């Protein structure tokens, strides 16, 4: 789980890119390319280095008319996996 | 068979390098400076690569800092939208130049480590003062804040330094370390006796890596290339021939992997003559070992055939004399037992190193030389949902 007050940020060297040829968003990182499905892309689009995890999931819940705790669980799984690979910073 | 577009391109900007590592992945016949593609050709190739589907560009060599137009090339690559990674020994980079690369938008730096102290590093790199200089460059990289991978090539002489290399990665602020056991291509093949790790060393390295991965989780990513002569299954070389990545040599020759020119019956096209996309999709060299149709038994009926694509073609060439054979590293290969026995014999071999020469210099004589450049692991180009 990620604490609601934690602030996720993409570190230098990790960035979102639209892959025109394959018509998909990807996350580019050192020696790795992660294909982003629409949900993953929606989550990462909210990661701005300022918003807290709670704020991000509230906005997503609002936009997709879905329960925030469900969005929080999905987002935490995805962001946690990125964090484990050091593709994401989490400020407590 | 549908051919997917490549994700990564390794641009060997030059074969020039101040170091002369005895395991350099450059070919024995090094390209001279005057045959190197000029700036505008490289920029065109970057654009063609991006249009073809390449997302990740590795600027390599030789030592890419030997190219004076490096910042210009980085700027162009970034403008084209490529993720731009510099693979360097650090030698030839100054603080001012790193500043220029930063301003040009360089995404990531991969710094090679020949050893964890001056004595080892300078003996392996064949360049006195190289280690001190590298440490200075590492300091500038950290100060600028470039994302960093430390790239260690391990072999019989320096495998015992792995624990210290892991510490150094943390001290340098690296987020990732590549622990690559030397792969026997290029110059490394010439130095097999002197570089082959013992089976015990290879086991110990695997243990240290597993321990470090658990201990450093969330702080340092450890990517590992085990010693393959001591393995039971081969590596998925280059992610599969013609599936994921391509290399462009300094003179513009396009290769499915950096050792592909050791396969004598293949002919390779050049970006000076043809668009990259034609070369990727249509050239006979890229199509030679694509997919699974070319495979002999035991690969053809093996359930791992799409996992490793039968291993490395260049290794099959070097060890079995047939680029179309099952990689002799594989336990199912008829050559496997003999290879493991030979690996043990190599590991007990003499210690003299044959150093890489400079482009245009004659090849050194085997047997009476002493040192040599940095091998990129066959697996280095990774892709997909990695
Ligand atoms: S037999 Fe071929 S496909 Fe099967 S594991 Fe060995 S190399 Fe891979
Ligand atoms: S392996 Fe050594 S000699 Fe070869 S390019 Fe790298 S630093 Fe230079």
Q: Does ligand 1 come within 6 angstroms of the Cβ of B326?
A: yes
Contacts of A22 in chain B (CB under 8 A): 5, 53
Cβ distance B238 to B308 under 8 Å? no
pLDDT at position B47 is: 98
Is A2 among the domain residues?
no
Mutate to test the interface with B, among A21, A27, A32, A89 (most CBs of B within 10 A): A32
Mapped onto helix, strand or coil, the DSSP state of residue A53 is helix
Task: Could you list the beta-strand ranges (E) of chain B.
Answer: 8-12, 56-60, 83-88, 108-113, 148-154, 176-181, 221-225, 245-248, 254-255
Across B124-129, average pLDDT? 90
Residue in chain A closest to B386 (alpha carbons) equals: A32
Domain encompassing residue A31: 7-87
Residue among B178, B156, B159, B160 at smallest CA distance from B85: B178
Q: Which of A26, A45, A59, A60 is nearest to B55 (CA)?
A: A26
What percentage of chain B has pLDDT greater than the value 70?
93
Q: Is B112 in the pocket of ligand 2 (CB under 6 A)?
A: yes
User: Does B259 have pLDDT greater than 60?
Assistant: yes
* Section B295-301 average pLDDT: 91
Q: Are strands A32-36 and A24-29 parallel, antiparallel or unpaired?
A: antiparallel
Predicted pLDDT of residue A73: 93
pLDDT (0 to 100) of residue B280: 97
| Protein residue with least CA distance to atom 1, ligand 1 | B299
pLDDT for residue B365 is more than 60: no
Residue B157 CB coordination number (10 Å): 19
What would the pLDDT profile of A34-92 be if each residue is shown by its tens digit? 999 999 999 999 999 999 999 999 999 999 999 999 999 999 999 999 999 999 999 88
Instruction: Note whether A39 and A64 are within 8 A (CB).
Output: no
The string of pLDDT tens digits covering residues B144-175 is 999 999 999 999 999 999 999 999 999 999 99
Cβ proximity of B379 and B225 under 8 Å:
yes
User: Which pLDDT score, from 0 to 100, does residue A23 have?
Assistant: 96
Nearest to B92 by CA among B18, B174, B2: B18
Per-residue pLDDT band at B360 (split at 50, 70, 90): low
Rounded Cα distance between B353 and B337, Å, is 27
Cβ neighbours of B217 in A, within 8 Å = 84
**What is the pLDDT at residue B28?**
84
Confidence of residue B193 (pLDDT cuts 50, 70, 90): confident
Q: Using omega within 30 degrees of 0 as the cis cutoff, is the peptide bond preceding B62 cis?
A: yes
Does residue A47 lie in a domain region?
yes
What does the pLDDT read at residue B26? Answer: 86
User: Is B83–A12 a contact, with Cβ atoms under 8 angstroms apart?
Assistant: no
CB neighbourhood size of B348 (10 A): 11
Secondary structure (H, E, C), B140-175: HHHHHCCCEEEEEEECCCCHHHHHHHHHHHHHCCCC
Give the integer Cα–Cα distance in Å for B368 and B49.
43
8 A C-beta contact, residue B125 and residue B113: no
Q: What pLDDT, on a 0 to 100 scale, did the predictor assign at position B342?
A: 81
Alpha helices in chain A (DSSP H): 38-46, 53-64, 68-84
Judge: B382–A32 Cβ closer than 8 Å, yes or no: yes
Number of domains in chain A: 1
ipTM of predicted complex: 0.93
- Using CA atoms, how far apart are residues A64 and A41, in angstroms rounded to an integer? 13
Structure tokens at B88: 């360097």
* β-sheet bridge partners, residue B33: none
Asked if the model's pLDDT at residue B366 lies above 60, the reply is no
pLDDT of residue B362: 55
pLDDT band at B358 (very low <50, low <70, confident <90, very high): confident
The per-residue pLDDT of chain B, averaged, comes to 88
DSSP state of B262: G
Secondary structure class of A90 (helix, strand, coil): strand
Is the CB of residue B74 less than 8 Å from the CB of residue B106? yes
Q: How many whole angstroms separate alpha carbon B80 and alpha carbon B60?
A: 18
Say whether pLDDT at B355 is over 90: no
Nearest CA in chain B to A36: B385
The DSSP code for B64 is G
- Within-domain flag for A1: no
Is residue A92 domain-resident?
no
Q: What is the radius of gyration, based on Cα positions, of chain A?
A: 13
C-beta of residue B179 within 8 angstroms of C-beta of residue B152: yes
B135/B331 Cα distance (integer angstroms): 41
Q: What is the pLDDT of residue B254?
A: 98
Q: How confident is the model at residue B374, as a pLDDT? A: 35
Q: Is the pLDDT of residue B376 over 60?
A: no
* B19 ligand 2 Cβ < 6 A: yes
**Residue B313 pLDDT exceeds 80:** yes
Question: Quick check: B142 pLDDT over 70?
Answer: yes
Q: Closest-lying ligand to the alpha carbon of B335?
A: 1
What band does B361 get if pLDDT is binned at 50, 70 and 90? Answer: low
Asked if residue A64 is part of any domain, the answer here is yes
Q: Six-digit token pair at B222?
A: 């450890």
Q: What is the pLDDT of residues B86-120, one digit of tens each?
A: 999 999 999 999 999 999 999 999 999 999 999 99
Q: Does B367 score more than 70 pLDDT?
A: no
Q: Do residues B28 and B75 touch, judged by C-beta distance below 8 A?
A: no
Residue A15's CATH number: 1.10.10.1150
Of B53, B175, B382, the CB nearest to A86: B175
- Nearest to residue B124, comparing CAs of B373, B376, B377, B375? B373
| Measured distance CA(B21)–CA(A69) in Å, rounded | 55
pLDDT at B352 over 80: no
| Mean pLDDT, range B294-303, rounded to an integer | 91
- Ligand 1 in contact with B228 (CB < 6 A)? no
């Amino acid at each position: 789980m990620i604490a609601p007050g934690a602030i996720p940020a993409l570190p230098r060297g990790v960035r979102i890119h639209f892959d025109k040829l394959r018509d998909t968003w990807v996350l580019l990182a050192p020696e790795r390319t992660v294909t982003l499905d629409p949900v993953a892309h929606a989550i990462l689009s909210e990661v701005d280095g300022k918003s807290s995890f709670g704020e991000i999931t509230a906005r997503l819940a609002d936009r997709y008319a879905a329960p925030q705790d469900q969005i929080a669980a999905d987002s935490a799984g995805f962001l946690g996996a990125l964090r484990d690979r050091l593709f994401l910073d989490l400020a407590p | 068979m549908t051919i997917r577009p490549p994700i990564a391109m390794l641009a060997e900007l030059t074969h020039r390098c101040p170091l002369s590592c005895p395991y350099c992945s450059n070919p024995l016949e090094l390209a001279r400076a005057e045959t190197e593609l000029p700036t505008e050709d490289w920029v065109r190739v970057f654009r063609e690569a991006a249009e073809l589907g390449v997302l990740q560009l590795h600027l390599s060599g030789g030592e890419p800092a030997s190219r004076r137009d490096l910042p210009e090339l980085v700027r162009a690559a970034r403008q084209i939208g490529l993720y731009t990674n510099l693979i360097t020994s650090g030698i030839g980079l100054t603080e001012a130049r790193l500043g220029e690369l930063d301003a040009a938008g360089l995404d990531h730096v991969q710094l090679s480590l020949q050893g964890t102290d001056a004595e080892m590093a300078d003996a392996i790199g064949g360049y006195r003062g190289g280690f001190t200089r590298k440490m200075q460059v590492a300091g500038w990289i950290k100060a600028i804040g470039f994302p960093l991978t430390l790239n260690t090539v391990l072999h019989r002489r320096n495998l015992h330094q792995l624990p210290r290399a892991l510490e150094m990665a943390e001290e340098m602020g690296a987020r990732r370390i590549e622990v690559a056991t030397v792969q026997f291509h290029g110059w490394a093949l010439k130095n097999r006796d002197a570089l082959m790790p013992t089976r015990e060393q290879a086991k110990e390295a695997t243990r240290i890596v597993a321990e470090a991965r658990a201990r450093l989780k969330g702080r340092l990513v450890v990517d590992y290339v085990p010693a393959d002569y001591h393995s039971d299954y081969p590596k998925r070389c280059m992610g599969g021939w013609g599936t994921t990545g391509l290399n462009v040599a300094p003179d513009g020759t396009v290769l499915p992997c950096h050792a592909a020119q050791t396969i004598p019956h293949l002919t390779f096209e050049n970006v000076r003559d043809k668009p990259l996309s034609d070369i990727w999709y249509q050239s006979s060299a890229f199509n030679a070992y694509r997919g699974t149709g070319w495979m002999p038994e035991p690969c053809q009926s093996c359930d791992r055939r799409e996992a490793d694509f039968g291993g490395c073609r260049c290794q099959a060439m070097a060890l079995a004399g047939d680029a179309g054979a099952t990689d002799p590293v594989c336990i199912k290969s008829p050559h496997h037992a003999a290879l493991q026995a030979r690996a043990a014999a190599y590991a007990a071999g003499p210690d003299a190193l044959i150093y890489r020469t400079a482009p245009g210099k004659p090849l050194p004589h085997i047997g009476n030389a002493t040192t040599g450049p940095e091998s990129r692991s066959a697996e280095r180009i990774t892709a997909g949902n990695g």
